[in-house]
């Protein structure tokens, strides 16, 4: 299976955001991954609605927006207006997860649920039928450039088994520490979407690196 490649803008050169997005647009990348952090759910602050809205005209590729924030329901409609195509919320941040997912779907976006490294995939049993994507954090959320957590492979295999047994079409997205060295193993374990930050944007040839990641299947 050929994976979806979603370069993470968090690792890009913020001084040249437009050209970085144009590079992704002209590459074999499928989506653009946008990490939004509030300094409360995670110990970092990234970018938000104004940046996403400004970048939206630079590409027609889907915006995969990952909300690492508390109270995501307060901002879902605004992210839709800013240009989000996929909106992912954290299971750990949502007291009423089903309501959050309904809101996202009703706004016309695909809905994703993200899990921190310590969170078991078994908690997804009663929401999998309602979502389009599960984002498995393979590093602790908040900062780019961290080392991949090896236990993620077991979580991927477990989640792939649950999804397949239920006959569902739910993407498994891996976010954190994805490299050219582990991309194939992640896909073979059952991942369908690879988020790559430093691997892409710090490469000597980002476009060629994206092309290599596309061959991971």
pLDDT tens for residues 38-47?
Answer: 999 998 999 9
User: Of 30, 38, 171, 175, which is the active-site residue?
Assistant: 175
**Whole-model pTM?**
0.96
User: 94-150 pLDDT, tens per residue?
Assistant: 999 999 999 999 999 999 999 999 999 999 999 999 999 999 999 988 666 668 999
Question: Are the beta carbons of 102 and 80 closer than 8 angstroms?
Answer: no
Range of the domain at 96: 4-214
Number of domains in the chain: 1
pLDDT in tens, 1-39: 899 999 999 999 999 999 999 999 999 999 999 999 999
Out of 35, 38, 64, 85, the active site residue is 35
Residue 30 appears among annotated catalytic residues: no
pLDDT in tens, 149-176: 999 999 999 999 999 999 999 999 999 9
Q: What is the distance between the alpha carbons of residues 16 and 22, in angstroms, rounded to a whole number?
A: 10
CATH of the domain at 45: 3.20.20.70
DSSP the chain: -PPEEEEBGGGS-GGGHHHHHHHHHTSS---EEEEEEBSSSSS-B---HHHHHHHGGG--S-EEEEEESS-GGGTHHHHHHHT-SEEEEEGGG-TTHHHHHHHHHHTT-EEEEEE-TTS-GGGGTTTGGG-SEEEEESS-TT-SSPPP-TTHHHHHHHHHHHHHHHT---EEEEESS--TTTHHHHHHHT--EEEESHHHHTSSSHHHHHHHHHTT-
Tens digits of residue pLDDT in 68-101 = 999 999 999 999 999 999 999 999 999 999 999 9
Res 145: pLDDT:
65
CA distance 67 to 78: 12
Specify the pLDDT at position 144: 65
pLDDT at residue 217 in the model = 80
- 130 part of the active site: no
């Amino acid at each position: 299976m050929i994976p979806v490649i979603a370069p993470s803008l968090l690792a890009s050169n913020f001084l040249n955001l437009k050209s970085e997005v144009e590079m992704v647009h002209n590459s074999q990348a499928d989506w653009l991954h946008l990490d939004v952090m509030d300094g409360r759910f995670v110990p970092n602050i990234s970018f938000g609605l104004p940046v996403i809205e400004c970048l939206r005209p630079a590409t027609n590729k889907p915006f995969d927006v990952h909300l690492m924030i508390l109270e995501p329901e307060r901002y879902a409609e605004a992210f839709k207006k800013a240009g989000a195509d996929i909106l992912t919320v954290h299971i750990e941040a949502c007291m009423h997860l089903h309501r959050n997912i309904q809101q996202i779907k009703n706004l016309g976006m695909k809905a994703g649920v993200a899990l921190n490294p310590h969170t078991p995939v078994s908690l997804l049993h009663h929401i999998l039928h309602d979502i389009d994507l599960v984002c498995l954090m393979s590093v602790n959320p908040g900062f780019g450039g961290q080392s991949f957590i090896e236990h993620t492979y077991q979580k991927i295999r477990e989640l792939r088994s649950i999804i397949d047994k239920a006959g569902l079409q739910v993407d498994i997205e891996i976010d954190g520490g994805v490299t050219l060295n582990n991309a194939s193993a992640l896909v073979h374990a059952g991942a369908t979407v690879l988020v790559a930050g430093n691997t892409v944007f710090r490469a000597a040839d980002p476009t060629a690196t994206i092309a290599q990641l596309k061959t991971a299947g």
